[in-house]
Every structure is written in C-alpha cells, then in structure tokens.
Amino acid sequence: MWIAKTKAELRARLDVGSRPVVLVPTMGALHEGHASLISMAREKAGAKGIVIVSLFVNPIQFDRAGDLAAYPRPLETDLVVCETRGADGVFVPDAGEMYFPDRSITITENSLSEHLCGATRAGHFDGVCTVVLKLFLLTNCDAAVFGEKDFQQLAVIRRMVRDLDLRTEIIPHPTMRESDGLAMSSRNARLTPEHRADAPRIRRALLAAAGESDAATILRTAGEIIGQSHFARIDYLSLVDAETLTPTKSLEKPAVLACAVFYGEVRLIDHIAVTADA
C-alpha cells in the first residue's frame, strides 16, 4: 500500500491507467464504519481497480475551532485499517497542500443544506462540497463511497454530482452501529464514560418516535426521550421530507427524523426513515 502526502505524489501513483478508481473520502480516526466503506470500495474496484482512502481533517468544514483542534488524528492506526481492508493507496495531505493561502473559490449548495446541520453549522457544507470536489478531481475517481449516517452530506454530494455533471458514481453504505445502537462515529472516542453510556438513548428515541402516527407526536416522543438525559443537549430535532430535506408536518411522502445532540462539546448525529405506515 502506497502513501501520498502531496498532490504531485498522488498523481504520479495514479498514472498507471488502472480502472476503476474508487475513492473513500474520510477525515481519519477510522472505526469499523469506515472500514466497511473501504471493503465496499474494494469490492467495487475488483482485482484490477484501485482503492484510494483520503485521510484529511478538512479545516474549512468546521464551524468551531475547538472541534477542529480536538478532532482525533491517529494516523498509524488508520493506515493499518486501510491496508487490512484492501486499500491500494492512502492520500494524507495537510491543509497547506490542499488549499492555497489566497484561495477564493468555494463550492456552495443552497437548497438541501439550508436545514438540519446546514442551519446550525454555517459554511459546513460549502467546505464539504469544496474538499470532495477537489478529491474527485485529484483522484479522477470513477466512484466514491459515502456512509448513510451523514445522510444530509450524502444528499448534498449527490446533488453536486448531478448539477455539475460529474462522472463519479456515488455509492452509499448503510449506517454502522455499536452493539447498543449508537451510530459509529470518530467523535464517539471523545465522549466521557458517562456520556458514552447515555448516548444510545439517541437511537432509542428515534426508534420509539418512528412508530408514532403523526408528525407532532413523532417530534414530541423523540424530544422527551432525549430530554430525559442529564447530559444531552439537542442541537436540532427535525422531521424533513426525504427528498427535499425541508421540514414537513405530513407523512404522505417518505420523511426522515433527524437530530444532532451535544454531549459536552461532542456533537453526535443520527436519523431514521419515517413513513405513514411505520
């Protein structure tokens, strides 16, 4: 498995003509969820293709300096995961390699990103779209694998691919969970023992609420269960149209119940599909 730290090194490694090239964009701190993405990429690439994992903590998608500073960066452990799961190469740039000091171009999505995480994290999806497009261009990838846990991110990336006529196929992977239901996240490692023990209530709240029959009860049920915690603070809890990601009070079309919850300074997200016959 090769490692490239610069764009020039990456391009040199990719000048071999092997296809398809399948990208797994990550910010590192890899867990079993990420490992599953790499395995899916390996399956998609086949024996003749190339799987590339990017490990880059993208500074322009963080809205809180403290969150960026505290984000874990266990590079050696990450490289082991990449190699074990079949990656051919890993791209590990620093911020100075990815962004010019006087950069002035940003990719902006202004519909799907207006609500949920986009409403509370100014500029977040601009940063996501910009770095993902750069990675697509740098790797010239045929496909890229994204986890469904970040379902708004997945929707935004798909929209970017559609609207900009990009050739990259977007491959979704189901949310991976711990045995107690908590969605796997690199941020879970930053939870205190007390917070980690309490955090599975997020999943319990969503499951209980999804069984209700109307929007108001769905939101109330989830809010009450999360609100019973002495540690959890709701950033948002919203029922949105599954296609437009705009808030909805109707269950006539597929909907998604989504939330972001703070435990101290650690922000966790999760969601669940909701239908009229749930």
Active site residue 230: no
- Point out which residues pair with 62 in neighbouring strands: none
Residues in the chain: 278
Q: 31, 34, 195, 230: which is the annotated catalytic residue?
A: 34
Say if CB 158 and CB 172 are below 8 A apart: no
Distance CA 93, CA 220 (A): 44
Task: Fill in the amino acid letter for 226.
Answer: I
- Point out which residues pair with 268 in neighbouring strands: 261
Distance CA 4, CA 79 (A): 12
Burial of 16 (0-12, 13-18, 19+ CB in 10 A): exposed
Nearest of 68, 67, 65 to residue 56 by alpha carbon: 68
Tokens representing 47 are: 């024996």
Nearest of 173, 166, 189 to residue 41 by alpha carbon: 173
Q: Which residues are catalytic?
A: 34
